[in-house]
Structure 1
Amino acid sequence: MAFLEVEDGRHVYYEHHRGSGRPVVLVHGWGANARCWDTVLGALRAADHTVVTIEHRACGRSDQDFADTSIGAIAGDVVALVAHLGLQRPVLNGWSLGGAVVVEAAHRLGADLGGLVLTNGATPRYTAADGWPHGGTPDDVEGVLAGLAADRPGTFRAVADAVCAKPVGEPAVLAIWHAFLQAGPAADASLRDLAHIDQRDILPTIGCPVLVTGGHQDGFVPFSAVAASVELFPDARLVEFEGVGHAPFLEDGERYRAELLAYLKGLDG
């Protein structure tokens, strides 16, 4: 187990799987942990990529008592980990809220970024706003947070049940739920922050090739939002998953892994 000190003696958990290929940093979604990536991790390691996973502040095995669990703070941890490990032109892959995290981290890395993957990423906005008619409202997010305050296990079970549109089996749903239950209350502020941030000015500045996935039945990040986000990048490709919800790497894992590996191969010519 490895930990990186990032703030006032507090640490985030990470794993560093060494390989000879381009490094890939996997950033999970809100309330989840690094184990959500296990099948993706296996495929990347089989292709001899260096793979790094990180667990957000107040999630999984990271310290729970962070004062700042904002998107910007988590992105700063990703950038700090890239520097700590000496990763050269890494590809950042963010799922859900992790999509907003890696967009901010990509912006900070600038020319040191090798590539960007948004797995049903909650960017550039998670909620609707002027000129962005996609998603719910901050009040919707506050409703979820109120549910957590009243019944954390029950609310997280309902969220876990809604992640996948295609049947993935009870063990997979339980794994998602149990990951959520490891997230401390400080992680709730990450979701609240996501309800208000706007990255529409960042996406046009990311010049590397971007791979974007979206599920037509995604109940958290509408497919219309994913499709609209692609238009804001200078160089992005959309992979659509019909009949799939919020987790294509679980619901259509074989195709997801194939698309990811093909994208990585394309970066290296």
Structure 2
Amino acid sequence: MAYLDTDDGCRVYYEYHHADKLPVVLIHGWGMSGEYWASAIEALIRAGHGAIAIDHRGCGRSDRDCADMSIAAIARDVAAIVKRCAVPKVVLNGWSLGGAVAVAAAEILGDKVAGIVLTCGASPRYTQAEGFPHGGTAEGVLAIGEAITADRPGFFRALAEGAAAPGVSEALASWVERGFIASGPRASATLADLATLDQRELLASFIFPVLSIGGAKDTIADPAIAGFAANCAQKGELLTMETGHSPHLENAPAYNEALLAFVRRLT
């Protein structure tokens, strides 16, 4: 394990699991941490691929009192960690809000990026706008912070139950709930960025492959967002899994197989 000391005074936790083949940077969803990528890390290592897992500022083992909690700041952290790890090429894999971080980090990293995976990603948009009828509303996103303040345990319990399709185990729901509860009090500022984020032009500018994985039963990110992302990218591909918002947790074997198949095509 290691920490990145950022230019604005934050310490950001990351793990670099070394291996010979093309590494994958694993960027978690809002309120979570790198530990929720454990199954994917295990699969990557067994296949000879490196894995870099990062805890967003405000989450997991990273500092919780950073002044700048924006998606742009997290993307800069990701890019700085990739550069510190001194790898020539990486695949960026972002889950949920982490998908928006991955797209923003790809712009910074340029030709270091071999490809992107959007895992139920909140990119290129999360809310409805002209030419984008998918997702919720900006007002709904901005109201989440107040809802968390009013009833933190109740809100996070409901969110954890909605983070997977109906019928998942109590163990999985409790694990996800623990991640949300552990997030810092400023983490909702990061979520607020999704109210207006628009990465359509940026995503369309990338010349590397993009795998967009959607959950057919996802109630947190409109499944149509995944399809839009695949069509928006020049070399986009859509994979729809019969899961909710957390395919890498709900059906790890199938998810890991798809991830590895995509990464192998890039080498």
Q: What range describes the TM-score normalised by the shorter chain of this pair?
A: over 0.9
- What's 2:260 paired with? 261
| TM-score normalized with structure 1 length | 0.97
2:45 aligns with 45
Letter in 2 for 1:253: A
Structure 1 residue aligned with 2:199 = 199
- Separation in 2 of the partners of 1:7 and 1:190? 18
Residue 177 of structure 1, CA deviation: 0.7
Alignment of 1:237-252 (within 5 A): 237-242=237-242, 244-252=243-251
What is the match of residue 161 of structure 1? 161
In structure 2, the partner of 1:209 is 209
Of 138-147 and 29-38, more deviation after overlay is shown by: 138-147
**Residue aligning to 2:117:** 117
Map 1:46-85; keep pairs closer than 5 Å: 46-85=46-85
Which moves more between the two structures, 103-112 or 119-128?
103-112
Query: Displacement of 1:241 after TM fit?
Result: 1.1
Residue 128 of structure 1 is matched in structure 2 by 128
Cα deviation, residue 166, structure 1? 4.4
In structure 2, distance between residues paired with 1:38 and 1:26? 10
Unmatched 5+ stretches in structure 2: none
Moved more, 245-254 or 1-10: 1-10
TM-score with structure 2 length normalisation?
0.97
> Amino acid of the residue matched to residue 266 of structure 1?
R
Match of 1:14 in 2: 14
Identity over aligned residues, as a percent?
45
- The amino acid of 1:48's aligned partner reads G
**Which secondary structure state, in structure 2, belongs to the residue aligned with residue 106 of structure 1?**
helix
Q: Secondary structure at the match of 1:231?
A: helix
Q: How far does residue 168 in structure 1 lie from its aligned partner after superposition? A: 2.7
Residue 214 of structure 2 aligns to a residue in which SS? strand
- Paired residue secondary structure (2:93): strand
Counterpart CA distance in 2 for 1:6 and 1:194 is: 23
Q: How many pairs were matched up?
A: 267
Regions of 4+ moved over 2 Å: none
What is the Cα deviation at residue 7 of structure 1?
A: 3.4
What residue identity is the alignment partner of 2:244? G
> What SS does the aligned partner of 1:129 have?
coil
SS at match of 1:254: helix
What is the distance in 1 between the residues matched to 2:187 and 2:101? 14
Partners of 2:116 and 2:212 in 1: CA distance: 9
Alignment deviations for residues 4-48 of structure 1 (CA, whole Å, 9 cap, x no partner)? 101333200000111111111000000000111111111011111
SS where residue 22 of structure 1 aligns?
strand
